Amino acid sequence: MTGPGREGDRPCLAVDTSALLCRYLPDARRRYVAEVIDGAADRAVSALARTEVLLALHQAAGGPERQRSLWDAVRRDWDHLWEVPLDGRCLSRATEIGARYGLSVVDAIHLAAADRLPRPVEFLTLDRRQIPAAADLGFVVRSPVER
């Protein structure tokens, strides 16, 4: 895979780790997240998301069998996601975004990765700190979280 394709003007869905985790763990917002992700023609995540998700699921699993099951689910889904690389250009953009909006390094990296995608872009997050920055960057924000 080289990058998200464009089906007309259908937006690419950039998925933050907070939303991706919700796909695998019991959460009241899980159905919403699954519908948004499954309904998108193109889905993208930062390269950092895989490590974040797998480590968080390891901590939440409660045992090796559950961890294997969760990790297998992530690996199956990963084949259907565009992984945005974290190179120097992306990290420089993350610095700009983080400084401008007062975000953590991790939040800034996810937004910088999404900012590399061809427009239009939707940004799915459960992290309310990202919402104003994502909207200001021109993304259509998809979130069950109150703004």
- Give the pLDDT of residue 147: 54
Q: Which CATH class is domain 12-142?
A: alpha beta
Neighbour count for residue 105 (Cβ, 10 Å): 11
User: Nearest-CA neighbor of 23 among 140, 132, 146, 126?
Assistant: 126
Q: Where are the domains of the chain?
A: 12-142
User: Nearest-CA neighbor of 115 among 135, 145, 129?
Assistant: 135
* Residues pairing with 142 in the sheet: 124
SS3 122: strand
- Give the pLDDT of residue 9: 74
pTM, full prediction: 0.91
In the predicted structure, residue 40 carries a pLDDT above the cut 60: yes
In the predicted structure, residue 1 carries a pLDDT above the cut 50: no
Distance CA 16, CA 79 (A): 17
- Give the pLDDT of residue 146: 66
